[in-house]
Amino acid sequence: MNKLNEMTPYVGDSMHYLYDGSSNEKLRVCSVYALHLFTAGHGEMEIDGSRYPIDQRTIIFLRPGVPHAFHITPGQPMPAYNLYADLWDQERPVSRNRQFIYAPEPFELGELALTPFCDELDSLPCVFSLQPYPELYDAFIRMAKLFHTASFYRVEMMNSLLLAWLLNWFNTVHTPQPTDYRIVRLLAHLHDHPEQREPVESWWTFCGLKRTYFHALFLRETGFTPKAYHHRLLMRRAAHLLLETELSITAISERLGYGSIHPFTRHFSAYYGVSPKQYRTRPQDSQL
């Protein structure tokens, strides 16, 4: 039986695309594996006859030959980073010249990317929110951009990064997630507003719990203390702002609630192993 770590990915193309409801988003099939990460907006994805809501930070994983369509509200476009790849054949990759067939034409593709049986790959969902997983979200965007910015060894880097990302995603999908509704609700709040410097006391009040039980429950549900979990989110948000905006480092530190740039730089450097300036210039040099 094939295992996920035996894959030999080949990334044939990467693009940043704005889905706006145009005709080329109607029902279709593709000859290769496709990953679509939506970074903003709301819409629906039709996959093999079923419809799924898609929101900001939703990733779509499409297998070769699976009918799918993007249902986007006119006037409310949704930007996405897309990767098209083979997962099992680097010698004769189909993704370098992927093919689409649109309804109502017969869905008869000339050549499909190899799809050997793999239980672990089949266990990955076709629709998944990366909202609670900023490290996966940021890594995918960096990987998609690298396709166009790398000057040397692009193929080798892209193929290795996609394998690593898929293995990381598999671990995320199959690692037990928080289930207590009070902690889940708090985590959603923290992910939406990591820059808010709320006292920990407000968190156990938010959950309707007493201090001692809150700390024990939070650690059991997440594997982190509340402060450590929040610091992790804050550093992830800092990394995102460094890569995705043109804000100065001083402005980023202020947005994240730091009184000055110095403690922000100290915290960031301790977490990533490089300064904010170095991370912005060469994010691949960071330790995480």
- What's the pTM value of the predicted model, to 2 decimals? 0.71
Is it the case that residue 288 has pLDDT exceeding 70?
no
CATH 2.60.120.280 boundaries in the chain: 4-174
- Quote the mean pLDDT of the chain: 93
To the nearest 10°, the Cα dihedral for 25, 30, 33, 36? 0
How confident is the model at residue 287, as a pLDDT? 47
Phi, psi of 238, rounded to the nearest 5 degrees: -60, -45
83, 50 contact by CB (below 8 A): no
Please give the CATH number for the structural domain made up of 4-174.
2.60.120.280
What's the CATH fold of domain 181-285?
A: Arc Repressor Mutant, subunit A (1.10.10)
Residue type, 57: R
Over residues 129-154, the mean pLDDT reads 92
How confident is the model at residue 1, as a pLDDT? 77
How confident is the model at residue 283, as a pLDDT? 58
Question: Helix, strand or coil for residue 198?
Answer: coil
Alpha carbon distance 185, 179 (integer Å): 10
How confident is the model at residue 216, as a pLDDT? 96
Query: Each residue of 197-211: pLDDT tens digit?
Result: 899 999 999 999 999
Over residues 87-114, the mean pLDDT reads 95
Show the tokens assigned to 19.
Answer: 């889905």
CATH 1.10.10.60 boundaries in the chain: 181-285
| Buried-exposed string 208-243: b where 16+ CB fall within 10 A, e elsewhere | ebeeeebbebbeebbeeebeebbebbbbbbbbebbe
